[in-house]
Structure 1
Amino acid sequence: MRKYDEKAIERLQKETSIIDNNGIKVVVKPIPGEDREGYLDPLELDLMEKFWATNVGGEDKAAEPTSKEMMISAIRDSMGFPNYNLNTVEIHTKFEELTFDENKVGLWRYYPRKTEKNKKRPAFVFIHGGGWIGGSVYTVENFCKLLSELADAVVFNIDYSLAPEKPFPNGLNDNYSAVKYVYDNAEAYGIDANKICIGGDSAGGNYTAAVCLKARDLGTPKLAMQVLIYPAVTMADAKVEGYQWSEDFFEMCEEQKHIIKNCIGLGRPIKFEDDMFLQNYISNKEDIYNPYVSPMLAKSHANLPKAILAGAEFDGLRLHTEFYAKQLSDAGVDFTVFRYKGMTHAFIDKLGHVAQAEDLCIEIANAMKNL
């Protein structure tokens, strides 16, 4: 089920433009239903008005939770968005539970039944977002299933440990271990060990970048491609020379400025003491300078897998995304970076509601086919 005309996908695929940002080429995706600059996608705006009115100046917010546990629970309950299954072929779903360093890690996998006998399929390992404290494999399940169909691939979906119950480095180690497990058992899974990709959104993009750094540093597993979807690549106020964050980098129309400003706060440099998500994820303030927490701060980005990076125009993490693309480019890493005009953070959660989520799935699948 789609809430948009399929011609929207055609426009997103065919009417891209290229801009130069800090010396790198950014592929800009148009808004299917809006040509004016600085405007939200009309479908995105409609979703905000219907489902997130309290975030854009609607009804009074409910009373704040009275304990940390209640606050974490409320945040987790608010994450994700009900999306749609767009598959047109039968997708098999399997589940297994793995144990790494006493952590139980769920590993879902999806693949088209019709090509099950092909033992050299490409693979994609997905790491969901959620600010390191929440999110769910179920929110991204439809995205993973569609990717498995479009790329004719086995797609894995990791149910890793969450903070604050399991703070850093638990989640990172869970994800690294799961990716290595897939690599080490490629033959059993019927996949090509030379065509294993890894990707994730938001905090999952952070984990993806960190896992790629760790895999490079340790020499295993060998990864064919990384996909960073609006990733957080630096924490608190940690930064490197040349990186800047400013509202001035966002073009906002006057009539929607009050809405858009509420959408671009992610990634804004703040003190560690003021960052609730980060305080739940890491217990040592100095870890913001650890490249496995802030991949932007890695001493070198050389010899990392080729990359696809995708950012939303009205997402503060877009500045993370495009600066990290610059770092990869400077290190000689092959990359493609997309900017989706009119979109906000977490747009892949809205598969079936907005065409951009499906379009990004198509872009990833096409890249996998060309590995």
Structure 2
Amino acid sequence: MRKYDESEIKKLQEETSIVENNGLKVIVKPSPKEDRPGYIDPVELSFIEAANQNNENGSNPENMPSMEELLTIIRDSMGFPNYNLNTVEIHTKYEELTGSGNKVGLWRYYPRKSQGNKKRSALVFFHGGGWIGGSVYTVENFCKLIAELADAVVFNVDYSLAPEKPYPNGLNDNYYAVKHIYDNAEAYGIDSDKISVGGDSAGGNYAAAVCLKSRDLGDTKLAMQVLIYPAVAIGDAKAPGYEWDEKLFDISEEQSQIIRNQCLVLGKPSKAEEDFMSGSYVTKAEDIYTPYVSPIVAKSFEGLPKAIIAGAEFDGLRLQGEFYGKLLSDAGVDTTCYRYKGMTHAFIDKLGHVPQAEDLCIEIAEAMKSL
């Protein structure tokens, strides 16, 4: 079920442009219903305004929540009800892994028609949620659509969350899941040379970190990393040459308040302990300067798998995502970077509501088929 015309997908596929960011070529996807520069996609804007209205109606500043209550509020606010766009039967399997020391749920999806193919490509996906929340269910439809479009097996990892399980729990959970899949590729009917990892936001952080760890340990081989508006720099960690500057965003005067105060809040350098999410994940301040927490600070990016990096125009994380793409490209990594005009953070959660989420599924699937 789609809430938009399929012609908008065609526009996203065919009417792209190229811009350069510090020497990195970025493929810019148009906003199908908004041609003016500096404006939020109208569908995205309608969701933001609706959320603002709900917050105004339900706010009570006199009752400040406790930290436990705040965690519940944040977790409950994450995600967005989206749609299943599959046109073929998708098999869903579930198992639990314990090799990391935690009980980790592992979902997998694949088209029934392809189960006889024992050499399928695979994508291991890590959901977003600021390391403290999010859900495999929010990204389930996104994963299932990629499985259909790529005729592949897509895994969806239910890793441990902070603050109950801080770093390195989540990373270990995700890395062990990837190693388990790699070691058991034949049983899963996949080609061990065609295993990709991916994730959105904090999940993109995990995907980048898993690729670094895979290269460093040499016990797995990954074909591709799919980083969707990734958080590759936590707190004030940064690489030489990287700067966060609001002037790098094209902001219309009419929507400046919404864009500045609501869309660009992520990614601004700060002390990790000052941010509830990253401060819950990283309990030792010095850890934010390690590459498995902030991949942008890695000493070398050579030998990493090819990359797809997708960002939203009005997302404070876009700058670090594109800069990370430059670091990868400069190190000889085959890197494709997309920027979705008019979009804001977490747009893949709105699959079926906005065509950009479906378009990204198409791009990922095509890249998987070319491995």
Number of the residue aligned with 1:15: 15
Correspondences of 1:244-259 after superposition (within 5 Å): 244-259=243-258
Instruction: Say what the alpha-carbon RMSD is for the aligned residues.
Output: 1.1
Number of the residue aligned with 2:264: 264
Residue 100 of structure 2 contacts residue 176 of structure 2 at CA under 8 Å; is this kept in 1?
no
Number of the residue aligned with 2:214: 215
In the aligned structure 1, how far is the partner of 2:64 from the partner of 2:208?
33
TM-score, length-normalised on structure 2? 0.97
In the aligned structure 1, how far is the partner of 2:58 from the partner of 2:108?
41
Structure 1 pair 62–122 and aligned structure 2 pair: CA distance change class (3 A): farther
Correspondences of 1:241-320 after superposition (within 5 Å): 241-261=240-260, 262-320=262-320
Structure 1 pair 192–65 and aligned structure 2 pair: CA distance change class (3 A): farther
Task: Check if 1:331 corresponds to 2:336.
Answer: no
In the aligned structure 2, how far is the partner of 1:236 from the partner of 1:229?
19
Residue 122 of structure 1 contacts residue 195 of structure 1 at CA under 8 Å; is this kept in 2?
yes
In the aligned structure 2, how far is the partner of 1:191 from the partner of 1:317?
33
SS of residue matched to 2:45: helix
Correspondences of 1:220-231 after superposition (within 5 Å): 220-231=219-230
Number of the residue aligned with 2:33: 33
In the aligned structure 2, how far is the partner of 1:87 from the partner of 1:190?
21
Number of the residue aligned with 2:237: 238
SS of residue matched to 1:254: coil
Shift of 1:332: 0.6
In the aligned structure 1, how far is the partner of 2:52 from the partner of 2:140?
22
SS of residue matched to 2:81: coil
Shift of 1:51: 3.4
Task: Check if 1:6 corresponds to 2:36.
Answer: no
More off after superposition, 93-102 vs 321-330? 93-102
Residue 131 of structure 2 contacts residue 202 of structure 2 at CA under 8 Å; is this kept in 1?
yes
In the aligned structure 1, how far is the partner of 2:67 from the partner of 2:282?
16
Number of the residue aligned with 1:153: 152
SS of residue matched to 1:302: coil
1:155-177: per-residue Cα shift (whole Å, max 9, x none)?
A: 00000000000000000000000
In the aligned structure 1, how far is the partner of 2:232 from the partner of 2:204?
8
Number of the residue aligned with 1:189: 188
Residue 245 of structure 1 contacts residue 319 of structure 1 at CA under 8 Å; is this kept in 2?
yes
1:194-244: per-residue Cα shift (whole Å, max 9, x none)?
A: 100100000000000000000000002100000000000111111121001
SS of residue matched to 1:20: strand
Residue 65 of structure 1 contacts residue 74 of structure 1 at CA under 8 Å; is this kept in 2?
no
In the aligned structure 2, how far is the partner of 1:135 from the partner of 1:219?
30
Number of the residue aligned with 2:171: 172
How many percent of aligned residue pairs carry the same amino acid?
A: 70
Residue 15 of structure 2 contacts residue 29 of structure 2 at CA under 8 Å; is this kept in 1?
yes
In the aligned structure 1, how far is the partner of 2:107 from the partner of 2:64?
33
Q: How many residues align?
A: 369
TM-score, length-normalised on structure 1? 0.97
1:260-307: per-residue Cα shift (whole Å, max 9, x none)?
A: 111011000112331111111011000110110000000001100000
Number of the residue aligned with 1:92: 91
